[in-house]
Structure 1
Amino acid sequence: MIASRLVNQLICTSAVLISLAGCSSSNSGSTPADVLSSVNNRSASPSALRLVDTLPPPENSNQGTEQPLAANDVLQIEVFQTNTLNRTVQIDSAGRISLPLVGTLVAAGKTVRTLEQEIKAAYGRSYLQNPDVTVFLKESVGQRVTVDGEVAKAGLYPVTSAATLLDILAQAGGFKEVADQKKVYVFRNVGSQKFVSNYNVADIRSGRLSNPKIYGGDVVFVFTSQNRVALNNLKEALGIASNATRLAVLP
């Protein structure tokens, strides 16, 4: 009898929790700014963050078709038929590289093709006639994405120029049971501006929404579904109550 009353009480309590969870999950106006300050930049303020439907591509990314270079990236630079100028260089913390004859060049924030053309022009001005320069991105230390929240394996993940949101979520092992697939937020800094966009992954998988591209420096955060948490708590509570019932009927 006592066990039966306990089960009924737990069911009523869980119903209230689910109702409250639904109310709180719909009131998420300032949540992206809170997440940004805890995940990416603790000095960020809500007023500096813009919620947009579509995230703009990073600066100097050729309209989002290329990943801009970053500090600590390693480049292989080859000058055709001039082997003495071939170099493997790492972009320093100030975003620069140093090359023979032409000296220091800014590399960070530029695409590989843009840097390639600037090196070609630098050698062509004073040293070589119509130089043929090729730049390869050998190691991309800076091109990583932070994935946090309700995913199986939160952490830093490398990205390529073709990386998408679904790719990154797959690398992170997919969603935890309590994840809210309607509340996947992507944060991006474009110059001095900070943007965030909310994606419904179920709509992306069904084809109702396009699968957005992800770039180095982005932060992907998956929110908790309060309804799922409440249901899990209910299951756990009912499991405890069920055990109590079985114990009560034992001779």
Structure 2
Amino acid sequence: MKRKNSINRSISALAALGLLGACSTVEDAPRGEAAYAAIPPAPAIGMDYRIAPDDVLRIQVYHEPDLSLEDAQVTATGMVRMPLVGDISVAGLTSGEAADVVAGRLGQRYLVSPQVTLFVKKAVGRRVTLDGEVREPGLYPVEGRLTLLQAVALAKGPTRLAGLNQVVVVRQLDGQRQAALFDLAAIRKGKAPDPEILPGDRVIVGLSRAKAILGGALLAVPALATGFIALDGGR
């Protein structure tokens, strides 16, 4: 019976997602089970993090202290400057991938089989934006796993007149901004799950504020694609 109920809930969520194919405004962002179905699993913290502009890196080249860097800041264009080899593009790479790129550049002309380790000391890219009817809107760092309730708390909580049953979460998926709608009041009462917020997400409390902030209409996405509604132009 439990398995049957679970299947029925999944079908209901998928059906709700399918009905969104013709949606065109922010009010039509998926909500309820459809909104939760829209949130993909969070990536593992640490190893899967991808380097972003302004991050600070520690780059160690084994047995080469003069080539090692303790506080290498990634430029706005995603580059890090290394001794001998100059600028190397690292934005969008994991620590392991970036270390391999650095080792490859050093091995082309200067070292034989260089061993490089790279660690993100300050992950500026791990931030979320809190906006709308919250007491202190702004950018906030994400140190670990973060739920919607915790994210709103970072901004000192909602304002007294905030529309808690209409909280929009905007996420970048496949090159497009996408949105889902959640009921924070129900989450607070334990009547709905508390979704996970990922680095790069934007949380806007209050549907009217979300419409004013985001501007423009929402475009429909293919049925069952993600459950999020794509924002105009993917910008």
TM-score (normalizing by structure 1): 0.58
Going from structure 1 to structure 2, the CA distance change for 1:57 and 1:110 (only over 3 Å counts) comes to farther
Partner SS state of residue 169, structure 1? helix
Separation of aligned partners in 2, 1:64 and 1:199: 28
Q: Are positions 1:74 and 2:74 aligned together?
A: no
Flag the 1:64–1:29 CA change in 2: closer, same or farther, 3 A: farther
C-alpha contact 1:69 1:107 (8 A) present in aligned 2: yes
SS in 2 for 1:84: helix
The verdict on how the C-alpha distance between 1:31 and 1:170 changes in structure 2, with shifts beyond 3 A counting, is: same
Aligned residues of 1:55 and 1:196 also touching (Cα < 8 A): no
Distance in 2 separating the partners of 1:117 and 1:204: 43
- Give the Cα separation in 2 of the matches to 1:214 and 1:201: 17
How far 1:207 sits from its partner (Å)? 7.1
Aligned residues: 179
Residue identity matched to 1:30? T
- Cα distance change, pair 160–204 in 1 and its aligned pair in 2 (3 A): same
What is the aligned counterpart of 2:167 among 179, 184, 188? Answer: 184
Q: CA deviation at 1:64?
A: 9.9
What do residues 205-232 of structure 1 show as CA deviations (whole Å, max 9, x unaligned)?
A: 527425313213x21100069xxxxxxx
Instruction: Say whether the 8 Å CA contact 1:165–1:214 is kept in structure 2.
Output: no
Q: Deviations over 1:37-81 (max 9, x none)?
A: xxxxxxxxxxxxxx89424589xx779973322212221211222
1:160 aligns with 2:147: no
- Flag the 1:151–1:66 CA change in 2: closer, same or farther, 3 A: farther
Superimposed CA distance per residue, residues 7-59 of structure 1 (whole angstroms, 9 cap, x where no aligned partner): xxxxxxxxxxxxxxxxxxxxx972369xxxxxxxxxxxxxxxxx89424589x
CA spacing shift, 1:68–1:223, aligned 2, 3 Å: same
Matched, 1:95 2:78: yes
Aligned to 1:212: 196
CA contact (8 A) 2:57 2:72 kept: yes
What is the TM-score with the length of structure 2 in the denominator? Answer: 0.61
Gaps of 5+ in 1: 1-27, 34-50, 226-251
- RMSD over aligned Cα, in angstroms? 3.5
**CA pair 32-76 structure 1, distance change in 2 beyond 3 A:** farther
Which residue matches 1:193? 176
Percent identical:
34
Amino acid at match of 2:26: T
Other-structure match for 2:157: 174
